[in-house]
Amino acid sequence: MKKLILLSLVFLTVFSCGDEVQFNSPAFQGDRENALWRASAFSASIESNGFLTITGTNNYEVVRLTVPSVVETSENAPFVVGDVDAIEAQYEDAFGTIYSTNNRPDESVSIYPELGEIYISDIDLVNKTFTGSYKFLAFDEDGLNSVGFTNGIFYKVPLVSGEIPTNPITCDDIQVTVDAALLAFEATTASSLEFISSDAYSAACNSYTEALISQQSYCGDQNNLIQAQIDDLGDCTITCDHATSNVEEANTQYANATIGNYNEKCAQYELYLLEQIEFCGDEDGSIQGKIDALDCGDDDGDGIPNVFEDFNGNDDFEDDDTDGDGIPNYLDNDDDGDGVLTQYEAVDVDGNPADTDGDGDVDYLDNDDDGDGILTINENPDPNADGNPDDATDTNGDGVPDYLQA
């Protein structure tokens, strides 16, 4: 406690006392530890990323002031140093020791970071000079020693490197980016979505995180509110609750799947079960058990999933053989033996098997598709015998093949 009180007294002395700064034209100077410090040379430079650094030196010591935007600031909204890395004030002494506002004080000295300000009051675009003021308290790398500047000014410091950007990035610009990124991120978990995409969530979350980091750099984060938002985003993966919600919806769709969409819904259910394991874990193996119990296959590739070829529902695919050819349906690509491969039999707009003659037997299980008493195989449905009825005989030329016309 005594150390904290002592530091506070020193800080107040450094930041409120000292000789009046002698204002020269041009100039770079300030009160360092109660004594006037004046640079004999000074310059400004702008990096490719738009960061501005104003430097002053007296041949032995150097003061550097860095801000992320080449913009004039109001007295009520200066750049706050000691807040984020992108806004920094440095003092380098004659022995090469660097004191920076980005170095935090050791806990034995203070548990609070010390802040300062850089205020750019005028940018002369014609002569390319910068005018403003500064004050800061900087610590060495160990955080045990500090140097304070008050009443600092830089007046008409010339730009010697880089160019003043036409449209410099500002805090307001970054705020627009943050708002857009937040909307995009929130959209990935909107209640209107059937599923929360882990990939879309991660991408939007990372973009939002990057926007928040930029907001820290260009706007500061004195109260650590932005950092708290970043921390809340974590590693940008969906939560277990999200994953579980996906599984519940996928299971509902899977349970209501038809022949036409079963393969899609089964694979979708399996995907979200795997994600549930990834984001929730599976300590008792119950989720993996559900995956192992799934059969999303279509072994004969006829468009009829295996689970729909178990007609007697006894979970034994081997004893279901509609055409009696000795090949169980789940391995038979022509289930009714009518010469038209099951995959080419009629389906409705949803991909489900159709029943052309309305006799209750869908075409892929009906050996007389049109119900005219003539077996399909005897109506020349596939002259070239490739199983595809595109070349089926159409005796009257009406566009409907004989095997589908009673």
Q: Compute the 3-state secondary structure of the chain and give helix, strand, coil in percent, each to the nearest 5.
A: 35, 20, 50
What local confidence, expressed as pLDDT, does residue 28 receive? 97
DSSP state of 347: B
| Contact partners, residue 4, CB within 8 Å, separation at least 6 | 110, 111
Give the C-alpha separation, 187 to 205, whole Å: 11
Q: How many CA atoms lie within 13 A of 206 on its CB side?
A: 7
Q: What is the chain's length?
A: 406
Give the C-alpha separation, 276 to 270, whole Å: 10
Give the C-alpha separation, 228 to 138, whole Å: 25
Q: What is the mean pLDDT of each run of 10 residues along the chain (406 residues)?
A: 39 41 75 95 95 96 96 87 90 97 88 83 96 96 94 97 93 95 98 97 98 92 90 97 98 96 97 98 97 94 92 88 91 92 92 92 91 92 92 91 91
What local confidence, expressed as pLDDT, does residue 87 receive? 93
What local confidence, expressed as pLDDT, does residue 85 receive? 86
Give the C-alpha separation, 34 to 13, whole Å: 8
Q: What is the dihedral of CA 131, 133, 138, 141, to 10 degrees?
A: -10
What local confidence, expressed as pLDDT, does residue 360 receive? 86
Give the C-alpha separation, 307 to 305, whole Å: 6
What local confidence, expressed as pLDDT, does residue 2 receive? 35
What local confidence, expressed as pLDDT, does residue 313 receive? 85
What local confidence, expressed as pLDDT, does residue 220 receive? 85
